[in-house]
Copies of this chain bind each other. A is one copy, B any other.
Amino acid sequence: MASSLLSRQLALSLQQNLRLTAPGCRYVSKAAAKTQMEFEYEGPSMKTEVPGPRSKELTKRLGEMQNVGAINFFCNYEESRGNYLVDVDGNRMLDVYTQISSIPIGYNHPSLIKVMSNPNNMSAFVNRPALGIMPPENFPEKLAESLLSVAPSGMSRVQTMACGSCSNENAYKAMFIWYRNKERGHNIPSDEDVSSCMINQSPGCPDVSILSFMGGFHGRTMGCLATTHSKAIHKLDVPSFDWPIAPFPKLKYPLEEFTRENAQEEARCLEEVEDLIVQWRQKGRPVAGIVIEPIQAEGGDNHATPDFFKKLRNIARKHGSAFHVDEVQTGGGATGKFWAHEHWGMDDPADIVSFSKKMLTGGFYHKDELQADKAYRIFNTWMGDPSKNLFLAEVLNVIRRENLLEEVTRSGKTLLQGLYQLQDQYPNLLSSARGQGTFCAIDIRDDATRNSIILRARDKGVLLGGCGDRSIRFRPALVFKEYHVHMFLNVFSDVLAEHN
């Protein structure tokens, strides 16, 4: 079907002319003067219910090849622009979910099209290297100008991986290796270590653990899954490890109105963390690392205060456990800072920080001492994908050039204010509006109502996603401006009125 918009754009881009004259497009960037011109649609435009007949037909076809139980609808990515996702039935929706929070600067951003049409970049797409043994010449330079240019405080090392789960799996391995070498006092395994590990037995495959939090989500491969505790459907029927699971604070929102109660709740959870560390050490499964999200996303957008994270980080240090902050969903700017953990205001926030989604490549940063001591311990064939680093470098350029973190902060304030107002207006329907930047959420009366609201909003041209038991999470791209917020709030308000 129609790929005309994009074809035209490529043709023009190759002529180094980024102006588009496609009908139905207009300037949207407030900062247009100082940036490349951006093109976007004027607003949602709905032609059918969603999924429409063409989506249903394709879903049936795909159902002959794989499980389609989670398919929402099929997309026309060629015609999608900026904050607007177009489906195969010609419906154009304001996207406040962005492929589960993984589209950083909107669809078909001209700067990304330009990366594609630059002949110097072609080789990175066509020849995927085994990065760990034969990287391309520009790899160190691209790492420096992309990932390392936004490295978390105290970290100058990064390892790319293909996806979020692989990032966390390998981060856990790095923590285990570090912890065991620390226990040994050196990095020379015994003969018994070497022989026992080949048959999955201790001491070579040691009884060490990662402490995680109830409600946390860290991926779906088996190591990650042992630290994921958001929904039963993710974990059911998969063998797991006997690792400690601490309660995550259940706070009252807005946080600043319930400081005393929230502080008590956080103290309770921290106490439990220390108890678990001691218990598991006594069990002979010491805690090599603690993993936590700055905001539990999949688990329901659960926040905690900077004070909680500072104290948790100190507990990790006190007990000799590594501290791993999983920024797979929170990282990349949506909270108004590049990393959500920057809101904690710490010089030494973590030992490991993992990422994926909006970063376009998976991977993890780590402190020097968390680097595996030998080659081939943290390794696989691809170890990421340099073509994704090219896109990321350009995304970071756009974020800087267009001051997108400031935009996110501004849009986020407007969004949260709007949610507060709606919550006042619909106290029986809405509660606990919360957020940082545009990384916001609100609770709905119950699960069924939440799901109905999401579907009704979609039919009115706004794409939303759920999280937790009864929350809606807002995950727009970083190019979601204040007028997009107003457009969303108008539709959302209409939908709420229908559900009151």
In the complex, what residues of B have CB within 8 A of residue A70's CB?
A: 132-133, 375-376, 379
- The residues in A between 436 and 481 inclusive whose CB is less than 8 angstroms from any CB of B are none
Q: Answer yes or no: A496 CB below 8 A from chain B CBs.
A: no
Count of this chain's copies in the oligomeric assembly: 2
In the complex, what residues of B have CB within 8 A of residue A44's CB?
A: none
Interface centre among A120, A123, A129, A233 (most CB of B within 10 A): A123
Separation of A137 and B80 alpha carbons in the complex (Å): 12
Separation of A378 and B172 alpha carbons in the complex (Å): 22
Q: Answer yes or no: A262 CB below 8 A from chain B CBs.
A: no
Q: Answer yes or no: A126 CB below 8 A from chain B CBs.
A: yes
Do the beta carbons of B71 and A135 come within 8 Å of each other? yes
Interchain nearest-CB distance for A190 vs B (Å): 10
Do the beta carbons of B69 and A381 come within 8 Å of each other? no
Q: Answer yes or no: A7 CB below 8 A from chain B CBs.
A: yes
Separation of A88 and B126 alpha carbons in the complex (Å): 18
Do the beta carbons of A376 and B189 come within 8 Å of each other? no
Q: Answer yes or no: A156 CB below 8 A from chain B CBs.
A: yes
Separation of A240 and B180 alpha carbons in the complex (Å): 14
Question: C-beta contact mask, A188-210 vs B, less than 8 Å → 1, else 0?
Answer: 01000111011111001111110
Interface centre among A7, A129, A239 (most CB of B within 10 A): A239
Q: Known interface pairs A221-B221, A223-B223. Does A206 touch B65 (Cβ–Cβ under 8 Å)? A: no
Separation of A237 and B194 alpha carbons in the complex (Å): 9
Do the beta carbons of B140 and A128 come within 8 Å of each other? no
Question: C-beta contact mask, A115-127 vs B, less than 8 Å → 1, else 0?
Answer: 0110110111111
Question: C-beta contact mask, A97-136 vs B, less than 8 Å → 1, else 0?
Answer: 0011011000111001100110110111111111011111
Among B71, B157, B206, B221, contact of A165 (Cβ-Cβ < 8 Å)? B221
Do the beta carbons of A119 and B65 come within 8 Å of each other? no
Separation of A128 and B124 alpha carbons in the complex (Å): 17
In the complex, what residues of B have CB within 8 A of residue A234's CB?
A: 376-377
Interchain nearest-CB distance for A174 vs B (Å): 10
Interchain nearest-CB distance for A43 vs B (Å): 20
Q: Known interface pairs A6-B122, A163-B381. Does A197 touch B236 (Cβ–Cβ under 8 Å)? A: yes
In the complex, what residues of B have CB within 8 A of residue A198's CB?
A: 214, 229, 232, 235
Q: Known interface pairs A66-B159, A239-B176. Does A380 touch B3 (Cβ–Cβ under 8 Å)? A: no
Among B88, B99, B103, B377, contact of A137 (Cβ-Cβ < 8 Å)? B88
Q: Which of A16-24, A241-249, A314-322 faces chain B?
A: A241-249
Q: Answer yes or no: A219 CB below 8 A from chain B CBs.
A: yes
Do the beta carbons of B120 and A107 come within 8 Å of each other? no
Q: Which of A56-64, A336-344, A418-426 faces chain B?
A: A56-64
Interchain nearest-CB distance for A459 vs B (Å): 16
* Category for how many chain A residues contact B: 35 or more
In the complex, what residues of B have CB within 8 A of residue A374's CB?
A: 69, 233
Do the beta carbons of A233 and B100 come within 8 Å of each other? no
Among B61, B99, B169, B379, contact of A222 (Cβ-Cβ < 8 Å)? B169
Q: Answer yes or no: A491 CB below 8 A from chain B CBs.
A: no
In the complex, what residues of B have CB within 8 A of residue A128's CB?
A: 99, 102-103, 360
Do the beta carbons of A1 and B137 come within 8 Å of each other? yes
Separation of A6 and B127 alpha carbons in the complex (Å): 12
Do the beta carbons of B229 and A199 come within 8 Å of each other? yes
Q: Answer yes or no: A308 CB below 8 A from chain B CBs.
A: no
Interface residues of A (CB under 8 A from B): 1, 3, 6-7, 10-11, 14, 54, 58, 61-62, 64-78, 80, 85, 88, 99-100, 102-103, 107-109, 112-113, 116-117, 119-120, 122-130, 132-137, 139-140, 143-144, 148, 156-159, 162-166, 169-170, 172-173, 176-177, 179-181, 189, 193-195, 197-201, 204-209, 214, 219-224, 226, 229, 231-243, 245, 356-357, 360, 371-372, 374-382, 387, 391
Q: A11-B119, A78-B120 are in contact. List 8 more A-B contacts (CB 8 A).
A: A54-B137, A65-B148, A72-B134, A73-B134, A103-B128, A173-B237, A198-B235, A204-B237
